[in-house]
């Protein structure tokens, strides 16, 4: 099989009904849902399959829900004899990639994301935050605008998703001011429906606590390489991976650089493994038109069958 990257989505990719056909098809997927429900004490299967959407999108529910659906899709691919050359995950999705790469067990993956969701929800209730997508300006220009406003309030770059698609995060007023400056330079600024200022110092009150959780868990040497959000590079030392994942809590997601890193590996097939098509959409903006590649989404039995028919 050609060199293949698995990409795991994070918050924003959810939909009611996600993962249902894999749940109905595979005993091992039902086991995954049993594990996450035992750890979280939340009826994740009901939220995923029936909603309501408002409850599904609550951070404390959504983080384990997205993760179990990502791993359900991944497990179905494993059952079909598929495996990646390399993996990556966007923000929350990075925890699915940790599991898929053999770094963290399924149980500890679910413990991590459930605790992460609890802590992020706690900090969001303490500190009101906002996030805006800035479309049309390069990263260095957005960073300059952020630095100009940062002197007066909390604002930072959260995600560098594509060359000209950047998400800023922080307190509402500074985020609005950066957006106004960006619009004055010809960009679009789109407020995002989020409950907190993710990847900013407004949630830093939980970073040390989350670091302690990470330190208490067993991280293994990767069985397959993984590109990390914080560094846009691979890492094989388990202790260094723990440090990277602790920093991920408040650090920018270098997704654009991570995809460039995968191009440097001559990846030919990119597979978004999990609900939605957010990462596939970003890839179409990132990859040059002359770069030979195929992009797939695996989020249902039908899409898995199509992938198998086209690649095996």
- Spacing of C-alpha 148 from chain mean position: 28
Question: How many CA atoms lie within 13 Å of 228's alpha carbon, on the beta-carbon side?
Answer: 22
Task: Report the catalytic residues.
Answer: 91, 199
Please report, for residues 62, 107, 213, 227, the alpha-carbon distance to residue 36 in angstroms, rounded to integers and kept in the order given.
12, 7, 17, 25
């Amino acid at each position: 099989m050609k060199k293949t990257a698995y990409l795991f989505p994070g918050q924003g990719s959810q939909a009611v009904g996600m993962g249902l056909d894999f749940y109905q098809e595979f005993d091992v997927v039902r086991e995954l849902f049993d594990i996450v429900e035992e750890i979280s004490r939340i009826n994740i299967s009901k939220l995923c399959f029936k909603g309501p959407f408002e409850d599904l999108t609550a951070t404390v529910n959504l983080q384990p829900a997205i993760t179990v659906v990502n791993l359900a899709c991944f497990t179905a691919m494993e059952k079909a004899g598929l495996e990646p050359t390399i993996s990556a995950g966007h923000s929350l999705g990075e925890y699915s990639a940790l599991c898929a790469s053999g770094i963290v067990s399924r149980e500890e993956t679910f413990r991590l994301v459930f605790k992460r969701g609890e802590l992020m929800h706690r900090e969001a209730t303490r500190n009101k935050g906002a996030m805006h997508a800035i479309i049309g300006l390069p990263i260095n220009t957005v960073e300059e605008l952020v630095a100009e406003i940062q002197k007066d309030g909390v604002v930072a770059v959260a995600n560098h998703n594509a060359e000209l698609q950047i998400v800023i995060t922080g307190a509402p007023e500074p985020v609005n001011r950066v957006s106004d400056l960006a619009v004055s330079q010809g960009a679009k600024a789109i407020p995002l429906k989020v409950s907190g200022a993710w990847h900013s110092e407004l949630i830093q009150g939980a970073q040390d606590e989350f670091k302690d959780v990470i330190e208490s868990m067993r991280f293994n040497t990767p069985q397959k390489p993984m590109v990390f959000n914080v560094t846009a590079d691979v890492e094989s030392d388990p202790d260094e991976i723990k440090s990277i994942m602790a920093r991920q809590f408040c650090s920018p997601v270098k997704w654009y650089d991570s995809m460039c890193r995968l191009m440097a590996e001559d990846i030919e097939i990119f597979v978004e493994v999990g609900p939605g098509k957010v990462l596939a959409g970003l890839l179409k903006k990132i990859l040059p038109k002359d770069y030979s590649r195929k992009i797939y989404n695996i989020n249902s039995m039908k899409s898995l069958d199509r992938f198998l028919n086209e690649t095996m």
